[in-house]
Amino acid sequence: MAIQTEIIGLPPRSRSHLAALRLGDFPLIPVLILGTIALVAIFANVLAPHNPEIGSLTARFKPPFWQTGGSTKYLLGTDQLGRDVLSRLIFGARISMVVGITAVLFAGVLGTTLGIISGYLGRGIDQVIMRLTDTWLALPALTFAIFLAAIVGPSMWNIVLILGITYWTRYARVIRGEVLSLKEREFVRLAIVAGCSKWTIMYRHILPNVINTAIVLGTLELGVVIIAEASLSFLGIGVPPPQPAWGLMLSDGKQSLMVGRWWLSVLPGCCIMLMVLSANILGDWLRVKLDPQLRQL
Amino acid sequence: MNLPFERREGRADLPGLTRRDVLALTATGAVAAATASAPFRVLAAGPEGQLTWGIHVSLAPTWFDPAETPGIITPFMVLYALHDGMVKPMPGQPLAPSLAESFSASEDGLSYEFALRGGAKFHNGDPVTAEDVKFSFERYRGTSHDLMKNRIAEVETPDPQHIRFKLKAPWPDFLTFYATATGAGWIVPKKYVEQVGADGFKKAPIGAGPYKFVSFTPGVELVLEAFDQYWRKTPSVKRLVFKSIPEETTRLAALQRGEVDIVYSIRGELAEELQRTPGLTLKPVLSLAPFWIYFADQWDTKSPWYDERVRRAASFALDRQAMNDAITLGYSKITGSIIPYSFDFFWQPPMPTYDPAKAKELLAEAGHLDGFDGGEFYCDSSYSNVAEAVLDNLQAVGIRLKLRPLERAAFVEAYSNKKLKHLILGGSGAFGNAATRLEAFVVKGGAYVYGSYPDIDALYQQQAAELDHKKRAAILDNMQQILAERMVYAPIWQLGFINGAGPRVGESGFGLIQDFAYTGPFEDITLKAG
Amino acid sequence: MKQYIARRVGYCLLSLFLLSVTIFFFVRVTGDPATLLVEPGASEADIAAIHHQFGLDKPLWVQYGIFIASLAHGDLGKSFYYRTPVMELYLSRLPNSLYLAAVAMAFSLIIGIPSGVLASVRVGHFWDSAGKMFTLLGLSLPSFWVGLVLILVFSVYLGWLPSSGAGTPLHLIMPAFALGWYFAAAHMRLTRSSMLEVLGSEYVKLARLKGLPQSLVIAKHAFKNALIPVLTLAGINLIIMVQVSIVVEVVFAWPGIGRLLYEGITFRDFPVVQGVVLVGGAMIVIVNLLIDILYAVIDPRIRLGV
């Protein structure tokens, strides 16, 4: 149940304090990291030295080139089926990006729309949608994902669907909160007086003002979604093999970790970590830049 | 995570980011590298007179009751400890008299007589009598129970030590079903069961086996204690504890640390690791479960799999030996049949060979010079590694497939409800003989049959009515031969089930009973002295 | 006031009702438990017998009716797999999950609150960044992986801690850490923004003007006030943690609710899944309700209508 109002007793942030915080710091490294991942994802076909899905059992478990037994043919080593790890990581970027961004978009569009409708129209619809989010929340996210996976079966797009349906509620609640306060603002009242229809107002006036929040949420949810994908793979219901999703590689590599073949697990783990960490830092920064007046997120 | 509210942040991040990131990365890498190069120590700990198992599944109380056995091998990991049967598989004897001292069949095959062993007792001290045997049979409601009930006319108990089963018609498979395939021949105490009811029985089971029940915490552990009045011998290990550790890596870690003494089901790289660790022993057992590829739409004239040459090409494309070495350390047994080697009426087909050149040749002949899109390939997600290897091999000769691993429950349901298509990676650990296997997987009307061939169906009907063993065998051989020639299935191997034992274990009980994947008989298991 | 509470309670019940319906039908769409409880190749009769035993052959709405009726008596039905009452299974495992969640929460607060405080105060300093990175790292690594690495390092390699199961406090350390680390970031963020708000308040400015040393200002005035929302969040996250612990519980073979739920889904054990989800949902809904009421008590504007 969202706390719907401001906490009394705490006045607005002091300007001088903020000034001391050097708001201008742009998180260069995270953005560069995310940008690189995106580029790698787009140009995977060109960048990857081998086919990520085909290997040969005779070349199994080769270590990265700087260890004994490694070779420059397979720069980062090979996995249990002899597939080149570097190529898999590169193509995995594509899958992680696609799954992550699409799931977030899906959840975002769904959640934002419902949040706007719920917040602006209020009354009955609001209650219904809010009860729905309550119910959804009571159903633990991962459990819900497992259910859906059992019903629709695994495939990359099904995973996107599953993740999208699982994570829309946060958007709805937060956006709704925003809309509630926006509703009282001058420009909205003016629009009503001017005779604009409800839908016009929601689309042309409310929406642009909540987009910022949605974007911030999206960046933060990106990390959550990618970690969720990895957890689903661990439970056996993620993006199906032989697709080289990082989460799947991480999960497959857990045995190798125990046996000393660290590269099969640590490398995808690092990729995930870099991507999620960058998304989180970026999201935190965006939250400051795009929404100075935001009190609840 | 849903946060009801979260306050706004002040600062964003700092220029010091680079250092932190690298630090984190290095730390992770260092940890990983350190663990990679360090040898693992095996700690030997564990209370006196007790052995602990780390098992790969969650124990279900239905397994404490032989009346509800589902016809697969898993419940027997517990049944052999808690209960005893009239006749059961033992070391060196597939049908060893146990609770029954002797048994015989009448000439006309219409009645079977069992003589109970004097002095056999239940855990509560009550003697095992003919009434209990009759009761156990009549309350049996596990797999094949209506099959058995329909064929048995009557169960007679002429005296407390003798039981006679009268059949309606001669049924040569009676002993197979009674003694091995079902739990109907495992005896429970009638008085006690009637007293506490079926559910009460599962909470505190009493049997005639070498160990008695102490406690059970669902999903966590089962504790058993030696029953020193067991007829065969007093068990040497006083206490048995079975812990559920479903996650494989954790299970192995537990073995390495000495938290458990015996583990079931360790696969792939972890098995290699087990092998390398001093103090731990690998205990592979050939299971009763053949694995195969089923061509589900070979009866569809529009499908590329309709052509027998294409199916044979797929079989030639599989490098079974390499897969065996990689995934099961070579302990699986390659096979050309969907029927396990040790089954009655097993016919040895020609061994499959690895010949990718020939595969491509066959494909070209069938009109697929550049390969083709084979459709979808379904498997149980716990066997994705096998499926991936198969996929790889098929890809190498040009057959492209999309892998669809399904969670076990979903897979089993979809498989038996005929919802899958194209290629299926299947397997079965069910008991029986060649006839029962063919019935379920080949003959029209079978649970996993997606299509059938009329000549095979006709032969099946024939053998079902044939009483002469030799003649029946000949018909079944013929059926299996047609099956192989037509490549209805492309069998891969009979799965090698790899287990592990720690340094405290003397006789582990692995491999003593043929075809039994788990430890048994429990009364023969010992701790190492000292 | 009463009206407000009544309304809120009404919404709660509505949510729970919706939840029960959702979970009931959802679970039945996922498959047929009978196929998992019999041998591959069982006869129709075998399967039908199981359906009958579990009451699955009755029409859906009748099954639902039975479900709700037993619920009224506190009876969640009997597990298909374990043949024991779900309530019993749940209650036997709940303490384990709460125990784990509590310690995980402790870890998460130990990591999160100091990082948050440091982040808000020592802006631009090494420790600010380090703390923040460490906390965010917890959010960036899948908990199953963290768990496995922990087992590897502390259990197998160093031999300090037991690898799995429950029993001694030592068994608790690794799973609690793996679980808690993930939540630390949320607590850090909240502590930090909360601290910043308070530090910018008139009250604190006055304290500074009075010449009180910085550390005193922080410790006595800012911190305590800032902590309230954080603890509120922690309370809610505690319940969420119990639900999110599936992966950690599977890795560590921890006998908690998460594993019970996971196995229930794997075995299509309808009563278990329904029971766990419903009870979990009820807990979240009730906690939220209590918080709402608490805030209504504190802030009259809320209860007079939003």
User: What is the rounded average pLDDT of the residues A226-246?
Assistant: 84
Higher pLDDT, C3 or B367: B367
SS (H, E, C) A171-231: HHHHHHHHHHHHCCCHHHHHHHHCCCCHHHHHHHHHHHHHHHHHHHHHHHHHHHHHHHHHH
User: What is the rounded average pLDDT of the residues B440-465?
Assistant: 87
Tell me what pLDDT residue C217 has.
Answer: 64
User: What is the rounded average pLDDT of the residues B508-513?
Assistant: 89
Closest residue in chain B to residue C199, using alpha carbons only:
B10
Is there a contact between A262 and B406 if contact means CB atoms under 8 Å apart?
A: no
In our burial notation (b when 16+ CB lie closer than 10 A, e otherwise), range B146-178 reads ebbeebbeeeebeeebebbbebeeebbebbbbb
Tell me what pLDDT residue B424 has.
Answer: 94
User: What is the rounded average pLDDT of the residues B386-411?
Assistant: 87
User: What is the rounded average pLDDT of the residues A6-34?
Assistant: 53
- B520 in Cβ contact with B509 (< 8 Å): yes
**pLDDT tens for each residue of B484-499:** 999 999 999 999 989 9
Whether pLDDT at B33 is above 50: no
For residue B91, is the peptide bond before it cis, meaning its omega torsion is within 30 degrees of 0?
no
Chain C nearest-CA distance from A228, in A, is 8
Q: Nearest 5°: CA angle at B97, between B156 and B223?
A: 100
Q: Which residues of C touch B202 (CB under 8 A)?
A: 83
User: Does residue A235 belong to the interface with chain C, where contact is any CB pair within 8 Å?
Assistant: yes
Helix, strand, coil fractions of chain C, as percent rounded to 5:
80, 0, 20
Tell me what pLDDT residue B493 has.
Answer: 94
Whether pLDDT at A119 is above 70: yes
Q: Which residues of A touch B13 (CB under 8 A)?
A: 25, 27, 30, 281, 284-285
Whether pLDDT at B504 is above 70: yes
For the question of an ipTM over 0.95, the answer is no
Whether pLDDT at A56 is above 80: no
User: Does residue C289 belong to the interface with chain A, where contact is any CB pair within 8 Å?
Assistant: yes
Higher pLDDT, B241 or C212: B241
- B19 in Cβ contact with A261 (< 8 Å): no
User: What is the rounded average pLDDT of the residues A11-19?
Assistant: 36
Distance between CA atoms of residues B50 and B239, nearest Å: 5
CB atoms within 10 A of CB B424: 24
User: What is the rounded average pLDDT of the residues B162-179?
Assistant: 85
Q: Which residues of B touch C38 (CB under 8 A)?
A: 70-71, 143
User: Does residue B220 belong to the interface with chain C, where contact is any CB pair within 8 Å?
Assistant: yes
Question: Which backbone phi and psi does B120 adopt, to 5 degrees?
Answer: -75, 130
Is there a contact between C39 and B72 if contact means CB atoms under 8 Å apart?
A: yes
Distance between CA atoms of residues C229 and B6, nearest Å: 9
Eight-class DSSP state of B382 = G
Most confident of A35-39, B426-430, C211-215: A35-39
Is there a contact between C253 and B250 if contact means CB atoms under 8 Å apart?
A: yes
User: What is the rounded average pLDDT of the residues A116-141?
Assistant: 78
Least-confidence region, from A280-289, B41-50, C18-27: B41-50
> Mutate which of B1, B2, B20, B329 to test chain A, going by most A C-beta atoms within 10 A?
B2
- A277 in Cβ contact with C137 (< 8 Å): yes
Q: Nearest 5°: CA angle at A80, between B29 and B341?
A: 145
Tell me what pLDDT residue B36 has.
Answer: 43
**pLDDT tens for each residue of A193-202:** 888 787 887 7
Is there a contact between C302 and A5 if contact means CB atoms under 8 Å apart?
A: yes
Reduce the DSSP state of residue B8 to 3 states and report it.
coil
User: Does residue C291 belong to the interface with chain B, where contact is any CB pair within 8 Å?
Assistant: yes
Distance between start and end Cα atoms, chain C: 13
Tell me what pLDDT residue B51 has.
Answer: 92
**pLDDT tens for each residue of B124-139:** 999 999 999 999 998 8
Tell me what pLDDT residue A107 has.
Answer: 92
> Mutate which of C9, C135, C140 to test chain A, going by most A C-beta atoms within 10 A?
C140
Most confident of B60-64, B67-71, B388-392, C238-242: B388-392
Whether pLDDT at B86 is above 70: yes
Q: Nearest 5°: CA angle at A240, between A238 and A245?
A: 75
Tell me what pLDDT residue B44 has.
Answer: 46
E-assigned strand segments in B230-304: 239-244, 262-263, 281-295
Closest residue in chain B to residue C139, using alpha carbons only:
B1
Least-confidence region, from B112-126, B330-344, B501-515, C224-238: C224-238
Tell me what pLDDT residue C218 has.
Answer: 64
- C190 in Cβ contact with C237 (< 8 Å): no
Handedness of CA A81, A83, A86, A89 (dihedral sign): negative
- B89 in Cβ contact with B96 (< 8 Å): yes
Whether pLDDT at A104 is above 90: yes
- A133 in Cβ contact with A119 (< 8 Å): no
Please, what is the average pLDDT of chain B? 84
Tokens found for residue B115: 């003589």
Pairing label, strands B162-167, B87-90: unpaired
Q: Which residues of C touch A280 (CB under 8 A)?
A: 136, 139-140, 185
Whether pLDDT at B269 is above 80: yes
Pairing label, strands B111-116, B152-159: unpaired
User: What is the rounded average pLDDT of the residues B173-195?
Assistant: 86
Hey, which residues does B96 pair with through a beta bridge?
B88
> Chains B, C: CB contacts under 8 A, how many?
201
Q: Which residues of B touch C233 (CB under 8 A)?
A: 3-6
In which band, very low, low, confident or very high, does the pLDDT at B30 lie, cut at 50, 70 and 90? Answer: very low
CA A291 vs. chain centroid, Å, equals 20
> Chains A, C: CB contacts under 8 A, how many?
152
User: Does residue C171 belong to the interface with chain B, where contact is any CB pair within 8 Å?
Assistant: no
One-character DSSP codes across A60-93: TTPPPTTSTT-BTTBTT-B-TTS-BHHHHHHHHH
Say which of B40, B146, B243 has its CB closest to residue C156: B40
Is there a contact between C200 and A141 if contact means CB atoms under 8 Å apart?
A: no
Chain A nearest-CA distance from C48, in A, is 22
Tokens found for residue B137: 């049979």
Per-residue pLDDT of chain C (306 residues; tens, 9 = 90+): 678 778 888 888 888 888 888 888 888 877 777 776 665 555 666 677 778 777 787 888 888 888 888 888 878 888 888 878 888 888 888 888 888 988 998 988 888 888 888 777 766 666 677 777 888 888 888 888 888 888 888 887 887 888 777 777 888 889 999 988 988 888 888 787 777 777 777 676 777 777 777 666 666 666 776 777 777 777 777 777 876 788 888 888 888 888 888 888 888 888 888 888 888 888 877 877 777 777 667 666 555 554
Hey, which residues does B112 pair with through a beta bridge?
B105, B165
Higher pLDDT, A107 or B412: A107
**What is chain A's length?**
297
In which band, very low, low, confident or very high, does the pLDDT at B25 lie, cut at 50, 70 and 90? Answer: very low
In which band, very low, low, confident or very high, does the pLDDT at B63 lie, cut at 50, 70 and 90? Answer: confident
> Chains A, B: CB contacts under 8 A, how many?
157
In which band, very low, low, confident or very high, does the pLDDT at B10 lie, cut at 50, 70 and 90? Answer: very low
Is there a contact between B32 and A262 if contact means CB atoms under 8 Å apart?
A: yes
- C11 in Cβ contact with C262 (< 8 Å): no
> Mutate which of B5, B381, B413 to test chain A, going by most A C-beta atoms within 10 A?
B5
Is there a contact between B12 and A23 if contact means CB atoms under 8 Å apart?
A: yes
Model-level pTM? 0.81
**pLDDT tens for each residue of A150-164:** 777 777 888 888 888
Q: C touches which chains (3+ CB pairs under 8 A)? A: A, B
Q: Which residues of B touch A25 (CB under 8 A)?
A: 11-15
In which band, very low, low, confident or very high, does the pLDDT at B39 lie, cut at 50, 70 and 90? Answer: very low
Distance between CA atoms of residues B450 and B417, nearest Å: 9
User: Does residue B407 belong to the interface with chain C, where contact is any CB pair within 8 Å?
Assistant: yes
Chain A nearest-CA distance from B76, in A, is 27
Helices B454-465 and B469-486: angle between axes, nearest 10 degrees: 160
CB atoms within 10 A of CB A195: 7
Hey, which residues does C85 pair with through a beta bridge?
C78
Is there a contact between C260 and B219 if contact means CB atoms under 8 Å apart?
A: yes
Q: Which residues of A touch C306 (CB under 8 A)?
A: 4-5, 180
Instruction: Say which amino acid occupies C70.
Output: S
Distance between CA atoms of residues B229 and B122, nearest Å: 9
